[in-house]
Amino acid sequence: MTVPRLYNYDLDEDCYRVRLIAGCLGVPLTLHGIDMFPGREHLTPEMLALNPQGRLPVLQDGDLVLVQPAAIVLHLAETGARDHALLPADAVTRARMMDWIAFAVRDLGVAAQARLCSMLGAPGDLRALQAAARRALRIMDDHLTLRGIAGEGYVAGPAPTLADLFLFPAFALSRDYGIDHDEFPALRLWARRVRTIPGFRVMPGIPDYH
C-alpha cells in the first residue's frame, strides 16, 4: 500500500489543515516540500500539470490527484481511518460536520486570503477581507455559544469531528491578519478543546498556548 504524497508548504493554511487532520486520524503522509514564497514553485510546469489552478495543497495517492482541501481530508479519512471517531457514523452528526466543512470552504475562505494579503503582500482589499472574516468568525462564535448552553462543546455535537479540525486554522491564525482572539470568547474555549484531540499538532505561527 502506497503512502499518499502531500505537496506541502509549511506556512500555507490549507496545507496545515491537511497535515493536522492526517495526524489526528493517524494517516501517514509523505511530505514533498514546495517553496511557495519566495520560490513560487507551485507555479512551475510540473506543479501546474498536477493542479492548473496553481495552488496548494496537492495530494497524490497512486493515480488519484486531489487539489481541494475538503476532498483531500475526506479521502484520507474514508480510505485510511474509516472507523475513526472524528468521522461520525451517525447520519445527522455527519451531515452537520459536512455543513461546517462547507462553511469553512465558502465563508471562511476569505480568512486565508486576508492572511496572504496581510503577510505576503498578495493582492486584495485587506480591510474588506478582514471584515468578511470577522463576520464568519462571529457566526462560529455565536453557534458555539449556543452549543455550550446545550452542553455541546464542538461545532457538530458533543464530540469533535473533522469539521472542528478543518475550521481551527482560520481562527488560530487570525492574528496574522489583524483579528484578535479576545473578540471571540466561545471560539477561544473551543480552540483549547480542539488542541486536546489526540494527534493535534501546531504549525509555525501558532503558539503552543492559546
Strand partners, 142: none
pLDDT at 1: 66
The identity of residue 169, as a single letter, is: P
Q: Look up cell 487532520; give the residue.
A: 21
| The three-state (H, E, C) secondary structure of 190-206, written as one string | HHHHHCCCCCCCCCCCC
Cα distances from 5 to residues 22, 93, 201, in angstroms, run 12, 30, 19
Tell me what pLDDT residue 210 has: 52
* Confidence at residue 209, expressed as pLDDT on a 0 to 100 scale: 56
- What is residue 208's predicted lDDT score, i.e. its pLDDT? 67
Nearest to 198 by CA among 26, 77, 4, 29: 26
What pLDDT is attached to residue 60?
Answer: 98
**Taking a C-beta distance cutoff of 8 angstroms, is the pair 95, 59 a contact?**
no
> pLDDT tens digits, the chain, 210 residues: what are they?
689 999 999 999 999 999 999 999 999 999 999 999 889 999 999 999 999 999 999 999 999 999 999 999 999 999 999 999 999 999 999 999 999 999 999 999 999 999 988 887 778 898 999 999 999 999 999 999 999 999 999 999 999 999 999 999 999 999 999 999 999 999 999 999 999 999 999 987 776 655
Per-residue CA distances from 62 to 2, 6, 42, 79, 155 (Å):
7, 12, 20, 13, 33
Amino acid letter for position 6: L
Domains assigned to the chain: 5-80 (3.40.30.10), 91-194 (1.20.1050.10)
Q: Quick one: cell of 79?
A: 480510505
CA distance 17 to 19: 6
